[in-house]
Amino acid sequence: MKRILVVLFLTAYIATNAQNIKSPSEFLGYELGTEFSRHHEVIAYYNYLAQTVSDRVSLKPYGKTNERRPLMLAYVSSAENMKNIETIRANHLKNTRGEGNTEVAIVWLSYNVHGNESVSTEASMQTIYELLTKKASYLKNTVVIIDPCINPDGRDRYVNWYNENRNTPNNVDPKSKEHHEGWLNGRANHYMFDLNRDWAWLTQVESQQRLKVYNQWLPHVHVDFHEQGVDSPYYFAPAAEPYHEVITNFQRDFQVTIGKNHAKYFDENGWFYFTKEVFDLFYPSYGDTYPLYNGAIGMTYEQGGSGRAGLGILTRSGDTLTLKDRIAHHFTTGISTVEVASGNAKKLNEEFKKFYTNKNFKYKSYVLNGDNDKIKALTQLLEQHEIEYGWSDATTVKGFDYGSGKTKSSKTKNESLVVSTDQPKGTLVKVLFEPNAKLSDSLTYDITAWSLPYAYGLEAIASETKVNSPKAGSISNTSNTIITENTYAYIGTWNGMNDARFLANLLKENIKVKFSKKPFSLEGQKYDRGSLIITKSDNRNKKDFAIKLSEISKKHAKQLTPTSTGFVDRGDDFGSSSVHLIKKNNIAVLTGKPTSTLQFGEVWHFFEQQLKYPVTVLESDYLNAEDLEEYDVLILPDGWYGSFMNNNIQKELKEWVKNGGKLIAMGGAIEGLEGKSGFSIKSKKTEKDSTLIKHLITYENSEREGIKDLITGAIFKTKVDHTNPLAFGYGDSYFTLKLGDDSFEYLKEGTAVYLEEETTPAAGFAGSEARKRIANTLVFGTENYGRGHVVYMVDNPLFRGFWENGKLFFANALFMVD
């Protein structure tokens, strides 16, 4: 009886406290969980809270998506804290320099990074409401930052699709269409990038804008809310092995503290959950690892559901999983997270400070040299991460040499780029730069290597002693080339993406550009294959030629060398047949069913946001010979072409290539060109192991045994034939990121990049059987067929948009292979 009275009293108290704030259900006009809320409705609720409870909530935009949806953060705390929010933030950041003295916990909750894991945003509304009402006491010493939707374009793609296709009332039969999104699903963002793979590489506008604010706060706790398959129970911290070695004992232990608190509530309700399995903490570009490497307790929570679940679905066990259930679970862990943070605010602050000030890693400095544009691209990434860097005087550095894989002493050039771990972001430096991250367990489902010197194609030394870098400052972003109308020609180098962007811009402006298939020297200067030659004569009919060329070279900070003659000292003169005019190619990329959404998206994003050159997106249904005639280049992104590549399509493609088309086949598309079509590419046959079973594998160990066949992402040193136009701008070797063990034989001619017998990865994990399979195989190559060409890209240089040094291969495929 007494208990009932207490409950009644409490309910009355809550009711008064909450009476002026509408719950999500009251505001939206439907009970939360009975409809999917569209993004603008969600923002409207947060706006309403910011206006109604303005002393405790502030809502701030931090950017826009590709489709112009607003990106917003809600800051929630006690009225007292909100008055001093700037001071709280500034004091908290002092901790990163070891100077802070604060006991306020900062918790950042990120919802709906995967658009069709759509419960998250709904749960966020219930969570903020509860924090403002029943759970307001947690906010006395805690600031909660809520991102209601990291990926609004993906979420609305899902929600709009669902509303268009759903049954009324909704149908829990898993076969009904409302549970099958189809090819273009809502998981990724506009460009089909997975934003939960982009925290470190920042190729997407959502990540770029978010990280600016993230760095202004560097929370103690960060949660990324997700969903997994319909039949899975809930997953929360602690995570599975492998853990990256930089994750501190406190970060490990505190995940357990939080996990146990969640378990308490889940046990009370009789809900299932699991921990310590599947979701590991290694690859640095996730919403859990990236925060961990920046001092937070970074965690992923996974509800069963995702795009298949709709408003309700029958599970394998015969139960119905509803959106309301899913909301209840994410809501519970969100609140429980804030509760634990609030209860441990002092400890979180102490440990956060320790994280930022205790940096004692084996490698103290990374010293980098190479092409100026590549160095510049890397420093731009460092600036986004607020990683400090400097420039060294000429010096001798002993350390691990990335190119040879050996420890040696090297003389570095004046003004080498130096990035040291002795700085607040030192842990992140180690994770992103170290040659080979220590893998505590090879069972991981993502790439196992990403080291930035390899990704950017730079010479690098990892030094165990700190290298001084007395000079600060960014690389100048200007070109001082003076363009005049009477100059015979201008010559530009061809080394990387900046050069490709420059060329693309010239072609769009109808400026004619040549390139040399052979190296040459002129007026005492040597030029490599692929060097761009822009002559007065080729452009004599273009009136504003000099003005435009001047504008474009300035825009791309592209230095050009003027020359008064086309008579070269060595090599072929500018009038020679080995100096080709670059065609302003009309380019198409295949989309739809046979392609992978992510890999199609990488090509799409490459054209529109990186190269800035037009591309036509061809729906696979329309692929026939008539359509193709208009295009010079057709790109087949990675995918599953088995049933798509029937004889007719093969014949049509073959005919089109024969008549001068250029086909670029990536990853899984290559298999589709094998065999009957007449293209010469061939899968490598590997001898099967003897059928004699030499040792028994226990049932329990069968998964572990399977990793022998696995490459999930490792870096390999390959050989390069840089006389092949596909490899112009490269040296004798190239570090490729291999994502699988697809293996093709060398081409008769045109093998441009390839693996030899030795296939020990330079970094990352590769299973012993997989390594045998990829020995002596093709990485990139060209085949001439009739008047046209086929370009094979077994590895994907556009993977997640971050392998900067591979992108020139792709540009070569577009413009140099002719």
| Cα–Cα distance for residue pair 717/757, rounded to 1 Å | 11
Nearer to Zn ion, 226 or 662 (CB): 226
Nearer to Zn ion, 305 or 426 (CB): 305
Contact segment (CB under 5 A) with Zn ion among 218-226, 366-374, 604-612, 782-790 equals 218-226
- Secondary structure E strands in 631-777: 633-636, 662-666, 714-720, 733-738, 751-754
Closest approach of Zn ion to the CB of residue 189, in Å: 13
| Cα–Cα distance for residue pair 262/330, rounded to 1 Å | 10
Decide: helix, strand or coil at residue 762.
coil
Q: Which residue has the tokens 């572990």?
A: 704
Paired sense of beta strands 633-636 and 587-591, if any: parallel
Nearer to Zn ion, 154 or 729 (CB): 154
Nearer to Zn ion, 98 or 229 (CB): 229
Nearer to Zn ion, 65 or 306 (CB): 306
Nearer to Zn ion, 117 or 178 (CB): 117
| Cα–Cα distance for residue pair 608/612, rounded to 1 Å | 5
Cβ-based neighbours of 574, under 8 Å, separated by 6 or more: 489, 514, 533, 535, 566, 568
Paired sense of beta strands 662-666 and 633-636, if any: parallel
The site map against Zn ion for 728-747 (x = CB under 5 A) is --------------------
Q: Give whole-number Cα distances, 288 to 196, 296, 301, in Å.
A: 9, 9, 10
Decide: helix, strand or coil at residue 718.
strand
Q: Is 330 in the site for Zn ion (CB under 5 A)?
A: no
Closest approach of Zn ion to the CB of residue 291, in Å: 16
Contact segment (CB under 5 A) with Zn ion among 106-114, 443-451, 545-553, 611-619 equals 106-114
Nearer to Zn ion, 227 or 386 (CB): 227
Nearer to Zn ion, 117 or 206 (CB): 117
Contact segment (CB under 5 A) with Zn ion among 224-232, 350-358, 498-506, 699-707 equals 224-232
Cβ-based neighbours of 89, under 8 Å, separated by 6 or more: 216, 217
Closest approach of Zn ion to the CB of residue 163, in Å: 21
What letter represents residue 512's amino acid? K
Measured at CB, which residue is nearest to Zn ion?
Answer: 226
Picking from 205, 28, 231, 250, the residue whose alpha carbon sits closest to that of residue 129 is 28
| Cα–Cα distance for residue pair 381/452, rounded to 1 Å | 10
Paired sense of beta strands 320-322 and 406-412, if any: unpaired
Contact segment (CB under 5 A) with Zn ion among 11-19, 220-228, 340-348, 779-787 equals 220-228
Q: Point out which residues pair with 784 in neighbouring strands.
A: 789
Answer left, alpha or beta for residue 298, where phi above 0 means left and psi between -120 and 50 means alpha. beta
Contact segment (CB under 5 A) with Zn ion among 62-70, 110-118, 413-421, 547-555 equals 110-118
Closest approach of Zn ion to the CB of residue 606, in Å: 24
Nearer to Zn ion, 69 or 114 (CB): 114
Nearer to Zn ion, 92 or 226 (CB): 226
Contact segment (CB under 5 A) with Zn ion among 115-123, 152-160, 342-350, 713-721 equals 115-123
Closest approach of Zn ion to the CB of residue 187, in Å: 7
Number of residues interacting with Zn ion: please give it, by CB under 5 A.
3
The site map against Zn ion for 331-360 (x = CB under 5 A) is ------------------------------
Contact segment (CB under 5 A) with Zn ion among 113-121, 214-222, 551-559, 605-613 equals 113-121
Closest approach of Zn ion to the CB of residue 226, in Å: 3
The 3-class SS string of 228-244 reads ECCCCCEECCCCEEEEC
The 3-class SS string of 615-628 reads CEEEEHHHCCHHHH
Asked if 50 and 59 count as a contact pair (C-beta separation under 8 A), the reply is yes
Which residue in the set 226, 308, 654, 738 belongs to the binding site for Zn ion (CB under 5 A)? 226
- Per DSSP, the residues of 48-75 read HHHHHTTTTEEEEEEEE-TT-PEEEEEE
| Cα–Cα distance for residue pair 251/348, rounded to 1 Å | 10
Closest approach of Zn ion to the CB of residue 341, in Å: 23
| Cα–Cα distance for residue pair 661/629, rounded to 1 Å | 8
Contact segment (CB under 5 A) with Zn ion among 219-227, 489-497, 542-550, 785-793 equals 219-227
Nearer to Zn ion, 246 or 292 (CB): 292
Closest approach of Zn ion to the CB of residue 771, in Å: 31
| Cα–Cα distance for residue pair 439/449, rounded to 1 Å | 10
Picking from 229, 5, 242, 189, the residue whose alpha carbon sits closest to that of residue 597 is 189
Nearer to Zn ion, 226 or 353 (CB): 226
Closest approach of Zn ion to the CB of residue 162, in Å: 17
- Helices 205-217 & 372-384, crossing angle to 10 degrees? 50
Main-chain dihedrals φ then ψ at residue 786, nearest 5 degrees: 55, -130
Closest approach of Zn ion to the CB of residue 202, in Å: 19
Closest approach of Zn ion to the CB of residue 302, in Å: 7
The site map against Zn ion for 509-528 (x = CB under 5 A) is --------------------
Q: Is 197 in the site for Zn ion (CB under 5 A)?
A: no
Closest approach of Zn ion to the CB of residue 112, in Å: 9
Nearer to Zn ion, 446 or 721 (CB): 446
Asked if 276 and 239 count as a contact pair (C-beta separation under 8 A), the reply is yes
Closest approach of Zn ion to the CB of residue 308, in Å: 13
Contact segment (CB under 5 A) with Zn ion among 223-231, 417-425, 431-439, 778-786 equals 223-231
Distance of CA 419 to the CA centre of its chain: 22
Q: Convert 602-615 to b/e letters by CB count within 10 Å (16 or more is b).
A: bbbbbbeebbebeb
Nearer to Zn ion, 120 or 469 (CB): 120
End-to-end CA distance of the chain: 88
**Of residues 776-815, those binding Zn ion (CB under 5 A):** none
Nearer to Zn ion, 53 or 292 (CB): 292
Closest approach of Zn ion to the CB of residue 287, in Å: 9
| Cα–Cα distance for residue pair 252/255, rounded to 1 Å | 5
Nearer to Zn ion, 226 or 548 (CB): 226
Contact segment (CB under 5 A) with Zn ion among 114-122, 142-150, 317-325, 394-402 equals 114-122
Closest approach of Zn ion to the CB of residue 114, in Å: 4
Decide: helix, strand or coil at residue 38.
coil
Closest approach of Zn ion to the CB of residue 602, in Å: 19
- Secondary structure E strands in 316-405: 320-322, 365-369, 390-391, 395-401
Nearer to Zn ion, 117 or 401 (CB): 117
Q: Is 114 in the site for Zn ion (CB under 5 A)?
A: yes
Contact segment (CB under 5 A) with Zn ion among 23-31, 69-77, 112-120, 800-808 equals 112-120
Closest approach of Zn ion to the CB of residue 604, in Å: 21
| Cα–Cα distance for residue pair 192/188, rounded to 1 Å | 5
Nearer to Zn ion, 284 or 781 (CB): 284
Closest approach of Zn ion to the CB of residue 117, in Å: 5
Q: What is the contact surface with Zn ion in residues (CB under 5 A)?
A: 114, 117, 226
